[in-house]
Amino acid sequence: MKKERHFIYLEDATPGKLNWAWIDQFQCNRNLRSRGEALEELFQEYMLIKEQLEKQNSLAKAIAAEIKPQLDPIRIRTGYVDKNVRVLLNLINSYIIISGMEDSIPVTDVVAESVRNTQQQVADQIHAYQVARKDKLTRSTPGDRDE
């Protein structure tokens, strides 16, 4: 291995940044013989950490690429809301029926007109969102797959 001599200038007065005092401390902690060995060790650690970060980023991208198509954005966005809306609709439906009809009619068989209209309106809004999203995806360019 051929060694070359170069000069490196660092600011000594800047606290919290790389300076000669920090490198000397690093050299002492690692039992290295010279500042050159300390810098060499720093560069090796930097390359190792950089390589690990690149591997982690590529792994994260591979996982995202595998999982993302399996997730249906419409189902994700409407799934939790749909459960809560159904609970609220059943409560409202029960209240309307109890207020205006006899107690002997099962709640699940009779739906108030206002609740039925609300259900239809929500279904129409979800359908419009699905159509708009599908239209947007068909118009996107091949490079726009990151959506």
Residue 145 maps to a domain: no
3-state DSSP call for residue 118? helix
Where in the sequence is the domain holding 41, given as residue range(s)? 1-70
Q: Specify the number of domains making up the chain.
A: 2
Domain boundary among 21, 46, 70: 70
pLDDT tens-digit profile of 12-61? 767 777 888 888 888 999 999 998 899 999 999 999 999 999 999 898 88
pLDDT digits (tens, 9 = 90+) for 96-116: 777 766 455 555 666 777 777
Most confident of 79-88, 113-122, 135-144: 113-122
Q: Are 35 and 27 in contact (CB under 8 A)?
A: yes
Cα gap 52→63, rounded to integer Å: 16
Are 5 and 48 part of one and the same domain? Answer: yes
List pLDDT tens digits, range 59-94.
888 888 877 777 666 666 666 666 677 777 777 777
**Whole-number Å distance between alpha carbons of 78 and 57:** 30
Q: Which residue has the higher pLDDT, 47 or 2?
A: 47
Q: Please indicate, yes or no, whether residues 61 and 83 belong to a single structural domain of this protein.
A: no
Report yes or no on 144 lying in a domain: no
One domain, residues 27 and 59: yes
Both 10 and 32 in one domain: the answer is: yes
